[in-house]
Structure 1
Amino acid sequence: MVQKAKILLVDDRPENLLALEAILSALDQTLVRASSGEEALKALLTDDFAVILLDVQMPGMDGFETASHIKRRERTRDIPIIFLTAINHGPHHTFRGYAAGAVDYISKPFDPWVLRAKVSVFVDLYTKNCQLKEQAALLRLQLEAGEQSSIGGGLLGELSARLASAEEQVEALTKQLAGSSEAGAAVTAAHLERKLSSLRQALEALRPGAS
């Protein structure tokens, strides 16, 4: 059974963290607070997260530096990061965010519904990813034990069906993002497609006769 996804909220202002929790509570996932970049990196040492909401302007280690550290770690480099900023930024400032590894860049004050919808996409993808990994691990154990029966085939079929459903969802999202004027749309779509492509390759490698 897949546990609730964890969402990391990083902001040095307690009132901002409280506001994020209020907005995202409807998703019914586990929300983890960090009041600095250092705290965020510490939390990432032990826990897995579906997505990180990261404030740009923080004392000490700012959001850009924190993101750079996250992307340098093998364990955390693929976690999607959504930058939140109150800064009136121009194109160069936005580019710096994407260069640091962000999949999206949202200016405050933001629309709560939009933020919740964007976060839910990554939570859903993370949950599907976990389900596929669990079932793939079970299938691999059965194949290693020589159980090349209908049980293994049934699991493989279920895995393929689940992945196909996720691929359809991401394809629809990609088409939706293609018509968006947001600078992060293409980045978000590409990130989702890379994740699903990796899952598809892993699944195909489990099929009987795969080299």
Structure 2
Amino acid sequence: MKSKILLVDDQPENLVALEAALSPLDQTLVRAASGEEALNALHEGEFALVLLATQMSGMDGKETTAHIKRRAQTRDTPIILVSRFGMNPHDTFRGYAAGAVDYVVWPHDPWVLCAKVTVFVDLHQKNLQLREQAALLRTGVSTLGTGVSPPLLAHLASLLLDIEEQTRDLTELLQAQPSSVTVRAMVARVAHTIQGLRHLLQGALELRE
């Protein structure tokens, strides 16, 4: 399963450098050369993450972030700001206030960048898996009276255990990143969703008894 990552910068050479740095992750990388292009691209599908240059002609990174966060379709999409000239405390505050979850300074350390991006890709893929399982589980619960096969619920239980284990691994990883408060909140929401699915699955199993 691949996730889409949106790369936004008005300097083509920076987009090439970002693609080279992120290529080991083997995800789908989409380019946008302006804030306007980024907003249009976000209409065309779900993205795990946006890497957004802070300094751009026209709509800059913080303004683009604000537009992304105002849209219902994209308000939960994580945004990492990329600065070519560093970020002073005021700029950092403005970025977080607009809705960014993190920032990196150009030129970036490819290993650090990949580590940050991997966290969000993992979270996105866990969310996709949870949605699929929720749909399957609701289908199973709604058809219990028509003879749904027990292996369906057993399969869901197995998948749920797997995601619970992977989410615990993510939580341990985030303990080494105490500044990622927003990321911790995202993991907490995933854990809450898992708990809800666990209760729903238990209810379905009790109905079969």
Output the TM-score relative to the length of structure 1: 0.87
Q: Report the equivalent of 1:97.
A: 95
| Structure-2 change in CA distance of 1:47 and 1:75 (3 Å) | same
User: Structure 1 residue runs of 4+, over 4 Å off?
Assistant: none
Q: Which amino acid aligns with 1:134?
A: E
Q: What is the CA deviation profile of residues 94-151 of structure 1, one whole-angstrom value per residue up to 9, with x for unaligned ones?
A: 0111111111111111101110111111111211221221122122112212256522
Q: Report the equivalent of 2:184.
A: 189
- Give the root-mean-square deviation of aligned CA atoms: 2.0
Tell me, yes or no, if the aligned pair for 1:104 and 1:188 is still in contact at 8 Å.
no
Which structure 2 residues correspond to residues 31-110 of structure 1 after superposition, within 5 A? Answer: 31-110=29-108
1:120 paired with 2:115, answer: no
Provide the aligned length of Structure 1 versus Structure 2: 203
3-state SS of paired residue (2:96):
helix
1:204 paired with 2:204, answer: no
Q: Report the equivalent of 1:155.
A: 155
Q: Report the equivalent of 1:181.
A: none
Matches of 1:203 and 1:39 in 2, distance apart? 40
Flag the structure with larger Rg.
2
Which structure 2 residues correspond to residues 140-151 of structure 1 after superposition, within 5 A? Answer: 140-146=138-144, 147=147, 149-151=149-151
Matches of 1:46 and 1:28 in 2, distance apart? 20
Tell me, yes or no, if the aligned pair for 2:5 and 2:29 is still in contact at 8 Å.
yes
Q: What is the CA deviation profile of residues 25-57 of structure 1, one whole-angstrom value per residue up to 9, with x for unaligned ones?
A: 111111000000100100111211011100011
Structure 1 residue ranges without an equivalent (≥5): 179-183
3-state SS of paired residue (2:189):
helix
Q: Report the equivalent of 1:174.
A: 174
Deviates more, 1:27-36 or 1:68-77: 68-77
Matches of 2:37 and 2:80 in 1, distance apart? 17
Q: In the TM superposition, what is the alpha-carbon distance from 1:201 to its structure 2 partner?
A: 2.8
Structure 2 residue ranges without an equivalent (≥5): none
3-state SS of paired residue (1:176):
coil
3-state SS of paired residue (2:175):
helix
Q: Which amino acid aligns with 2:175?
A: K
Tell me, yes or no, if the aligned pair for 2:7 and 2:50 is still in contact at 8 Å.
yes
Tell me, yes or no, if the aligned pair for 1:11 and 1:58 is still in contact at 8 Å.
yes
Which structure 2 residues correspond to residues 10-49 of structure 1 after superposition, within 5 A? Answer: 10-49=8-47
Matches of 1:198 and 1:67 in 2, distance apart? 26
3-state SS of paired residue (1:78):
coil
| Structure-2 change in CA distance of 1:142 and 1:202 (3 Å) | closer
3-state SS of paired residue (2:31):
strand
Matches of 1:166 and 1:21 in 2, distance apart? 27
